[in-house]
Amino acid sequence: MMIPLTYYPGEVVTQILRFLNTSEVGNIIDFSLTYNDIWLASICFHILCEREFVIMDSMKPIELKSSTHAVENICSKSSLTSISLLEMMLQFKNLTHSRDYSKKINIFFETYKTENSKLIRQKIFELAHRFCQSNEGIPTRFSLFFCASKNTSWVSLAKLLRKLGTIIILNTGELSLLGPKMCRHLRNMTNSFPNLKALNIDSSGEILPIELGDEVSNIESLSCKSGGLLKFNTALPPLKHLSLQNVAIDVSGHNKFSNLLTLRLNNTVNTACLVSRNEFPKVHELHIEDTEIDLPDLNFQLFTNLKCLNLINVQSYYFGEITIPQGLTSLVIEETFLPLMQLNYASLPTSLKYLDLKTDYQFNFSSIKFPINLKSLAISGGYGDFNCRQFICPPFLEELKITGQNLKSSHKLRLPKSLRLLDLTSNNIYKISGMKLPDNIRNLNLSYNHLTSLENSVLPIKLEILYLHQSESFGKAHDLRYLINLKFLYLNANDFDRFRVNDITTSKRSL
């Protein structure tokens, strides 16, 4: 199907919808569209196609995956595109032969700075009035927020907002333009939002305090990134996902987040109080980042179901006696404030499968006892030579990443036979002829070392992916045809002619 460039966005949508209602759609369809019109086409295909597809543009390809689920967020800064989308919403049932797809749409319009904002506002109010005055199904996943003049009447829009399942608020510094009524609705959530399932507040500016209580009692996902104060007036039992960044948390009350599954706290104030004064019986993922907190104040015993713990750049003045919760399967510690050698005060749980350690200090492996059943281990950062004598690799490890550790060719790593992925990026390796690499390795990354030759080296015969990006060129030609399973070989562009590979191998250049 070809659509001329002369078509306006609204006509593009009409043509696509008519086509989809009368014809079978293949996996790849070529459209002759402008870049903004690609968004319109993608919406239609996400809504109406239950398959993976690609839309090709003359400027760039856009690959849209996971189309079995309707698109959830389309950001449009084009006034023509926004108007067309609104018009299509007003005529959706007619265009789709009475099939109602409107409930699958969730669109955010950033329209307050566009040249046709007055016309767009008019269309928005038409939409709000239509859904508020009729009994037809409200598009519960339709997210709408924009800024306009303070003299605008917000009655219809306020009614529409209270019916939505998702509200996305960006650029909250512009809230002063909305008028006092709308400010109260969005800042303090004082009106009832019985359908609200997801609330996303994202702003770099200061806003007034936000209080969440019975008015949003059905909310399941809350993301707040702003400079304001957030207060929970009730426990919000349905809440499953909570993400807070640059937020001061009011912790005057005690709540039991009985159904919360994920908790992410980034640069938050009163973090320790939030954790210690509340209960989190079902949380399986806890992420704390860029926060000053004494780690012993984190009472992990309140997280009885915790499986994944991420501590990123946590500035703790007292690291000792930290208790890593038992039952944990994934632990990430990335920090620059205290040496990880103090982990000798922590007992790593035997259930741990994934461990990622990054520090600006030198590792002291004599103080770290890795769990015997660990499957994946990543070590990065630090300074000085990597201490291979202290390092004892877990016997059943499948993935090992040692990056930026000044690992030398003379170091003798004792690697388990179970290893399938080995990443030694950004070390000080000149040759690998003396390294004993397990036969089961499928993925080997030796990039950004000082390799100039693979002479007298035998790579694992089961190797499928090999990275050899180097700061220097290889001096001799190398025959890798004995690697019969090799699928991808990554090289510097000037090394392409120095390697002979099988026909099934794809050679790619470094970025």
Instruction: Say if CB 190 and CB 184 are below 8 A apart.
Output: yes
* pLDDT cut 70: percent of the chain above it: 53
Considering only CA atoms, which of 424, 418, 385, 417 is closest in space to residue 401?
A: 424
pLDDT-wise least confident of 162-176, 211-225, 368-382: 162-176
pLDDT bracket for residue 375 (50, 70, 90): very high
Q: Taking the domains of the chain in order of start, what are their residue ranges?
A: 9-64, 419-511
pLDDT of 90 reads 47
pLDDT bracket for residue 60 (50, 70, 90): very low
pLDDT of 417 reads 94
pLDDT of 297 reads 72
Q: Share the mean pLDDT of the chain.
A: 68
Rg, the chain, Cα only: 28
The percent helix, strand, coil of the chain (3-state, each to 5) is 25, 20, 55
pLDDT of 198 reads 76
Distances (CA, A) of 248 to 211, 226, 245, 302, 315: 12, 9, 9, 21, 17
Q: Give the residue-averaged pLDDT of 262-290.
A: 89
pLDDT for residue 143 is more than 80: no
Q: Give the residue-averaged pLDDT of 35-56.
A: 41
Map residue 365 onto helix, strand or coil: helix
Burial track 331-365 (b if 16+ CB lie within 10 A, e otherwise): bbbbbeebbbbbbeebebeeebebbbbbbebbbeb
Instruction: Write down how long the chain is.
Output: 511
pLDDT in tens, 292-311: 877 667 777 778 899 999 98
Instruction: Say if CB 186 and CB 164 are below 8 A apart.
Output: no
pLDDT bracket for residue 266 (50, 70, 90): very high
